[in-house]
Amino acid sequence: MIIVGAGLNHWYHLDMNYRGLINMLIFCGCVGQSGGGWAHYVGQEKLRPQTGWQPLAFALDWQRPARHMNSTSYFYNHSSQWRYETVTAEELLSPMADKSRYTGHLIDFNVRAERMGWLPSAPAVRH
What amino acid is encoded at 76 in this protein?
A: Y
What amino acid is encoded at 44 in this protein?
A: Q
Those residues with Cβ within 8 angstroms of residue 67's Cβ, 6 or more apart along the chain or in another chain = 120
Q: How many other C-beta atoms are found inside a 10 Å radius of the C-beta of residue 110?
A: 19
- Which residues, in sequence order, are bridge partners of residue 3? 39
What pLDDT sits at residue 108?
92
Q: How confident is the model at residue 104 (pLDDT cuts 50, 70, 90)?
A: confident
Fold of 2-58: Dimethylsulfoxide Reductase; domain 2 (3.40.228)
Q: What is the CA angle 100-90-84, rounded to 5?
A: 125
What pLDDT sits at residue 107?
92
What pLDDT sits at residue 84?
92
The answer to whether the CB of 60 falls within 8 A of the CB of 54 is yes
The answer to whether the CB of 14 falls within 8 A of the CB of 46 is yes
pLDDT digits (tens, 9 = 90+) for 3-48: 777 677 666 677 788 888 888 888 988 887 777 777 766 555 555 5
2 pLDDT above the threshold of 70: yes
Domain map (residue ranges) of the chain: 2-58, 71-115
What pLDDT sits at residue 124?
65
Count how many Cα atoms sit within 13 Å of the Cα of residue 88 in the half-sphere of its side chain.
6
What pLDDT sits at residue 31?
80
pLDDT digits (tens, 9 = 90+) for 36-95: 777 766 555 555 566 777 777 776 767 677 677 788 888 888 899 999 999 988 888 999
Q: Pseudo-torsion of CA 70, 76, 78, 80, nearest 10°? A: 180
**CA end-to-end span of the chain:** 33
What pLDDT sits at residue 41?
65
DSSP state of 5: -
pTM of the complete model beyond 0.95:
no
